[in-house]
Chains A and B, each alone.
Chain A
Amino acid sequence: MKNDFRARNHPAYWAFVVHRVSGLLLTLFLPLHFWALGQALHGEARFDGFLRWTEQPLVKFAETALVLLLAAHMAGGVRLLMLEFLAWRDWQRSLLAIASGASIAVGLAFLLNVV
């Protein structure tokens, strides 16, 4: 028999879900990101054309989501490194709070600058 959400409903598990989903989405985004920068090989105009395409609101929304994912994956990853490599007692929960706070702050900073 398998566990359902009742067994998993605690902060460290949510942190895992965020880490896994963000990691997977960021990996899928990478080829697109590299392709976009590669446009510069075909001249500045081509690159500019692509950048103008990114000014649509929907693209900006997706970019904000990506920045948030990156920040969350990094903050959550630093938390994991600390749990795995530092001697550890009772401060895991504060680490989680710091990680989520930092990711949201980064997302907001991007959002405020991009619009």
Chain B
Amino acid sequence: MGMLHVKVWRGTEQGEFQAFEVPRLESQTVLDVVTYIQRKCDASLAYRFACRVGVCGSCAMSVNGQARWTCRTHVSKVAAEDRLEIAPLRNLPVVRDLVTDMREFFDKWARARGQFQGGKRRTDDFARVAPDSRERQQVDAGIECIGCGVCYSACDVVTWNRDYLGPAALNRAWTLVNDVRDVSRKERLAAVAGDAGCHACHTHMNCTERCPKQISPTAAIAGLKRMALAAAVKGEI
């Protein structure tokens, strides 16, 4: 099947692309290519992966300029003329080669109050949430996020405003404000509102365009914008 011409980022923020030739295989994923390089060409290549099947969210990289989950991205889908350019995710500090420091990404989930806070005790009865209720449907639309950081990497507002919480954290907050069992709705809305939160979003839809789980953080953020505006008008935040 011929050879793939692959350029891989080496270094930290400063660095350069290194060229490798990798045999083209059937049903080959981008992660397969990176793994091949690390095993056969240069064992010092740093990259991150775990599950290999699109569940853990640890193998996201920039592939030919676009953020993708590499384990489920087939080479045939992205390598025009058998060329690949593989780099670390954007908008995050580079630790080495293809590995980014995800701390600020996850810290922002915490800042957006991404933790569920229930008001019941284990002696209380179960909460009953109808599967077809509006709230539950909103939660369903966003709950499958695997925290891969693709949307964060694709977002221009993150690039322009380092304080911006980003699509994933806001999407998480949206699933929680729609969780009828959660009791810290008001505090969460205050945490995600304003210039560093949902209202900074310009609806570029880079996140929606790139999300490997077909979630639309843009829709979640739009929901937060409306809900937080209502809260601000009422003086709740």
Q: Which residues of A pack against B, CB within 8 Å?
A: 1-8, 10, 12-13, 16, 80, 83-85, 88, 92
Contact = CB atoms under 8 A, between A and B. Distances in A.
Contacts of A5: 65
Nearest to B154: A7
B222 to A, nearest CB: 5
B205 A10 contact: yes
DSSP class of A's interface residues: helix, strand, loop or mixed?
helix
Given A7-B67, A84-B225, A1 B202 contact: no
A3 B65 contact: yes
A7 B66 contact: yes
B226 A85 contact: yes
Given A3-B154, A4-B65, A10-B209, A84 B203 contact: yes
Nearest to A79: B203
Question: In the complex, which range does the number of interface residues on chain B fall in?
Answer: 20 to 34
A19 to B, nearest CB: 8
Contacts of B66: 6-7
Nearest to A13: B204
B94 interface: yes
Contacts of B226: 84-85
Nearest to A3: B90
Given A2-B159, A12-B208, A16-B202, 13 more contacts: A1-B87, A2-B91, A3-B91, A3-B153, A3-B156, A6-B65, A6-B66, A7-B206, A10-B206, A12-B203, A12-B205, A13-B204, A84-B226
A4 B153 CA distance: 12
B47 to A, nearest CB: 15
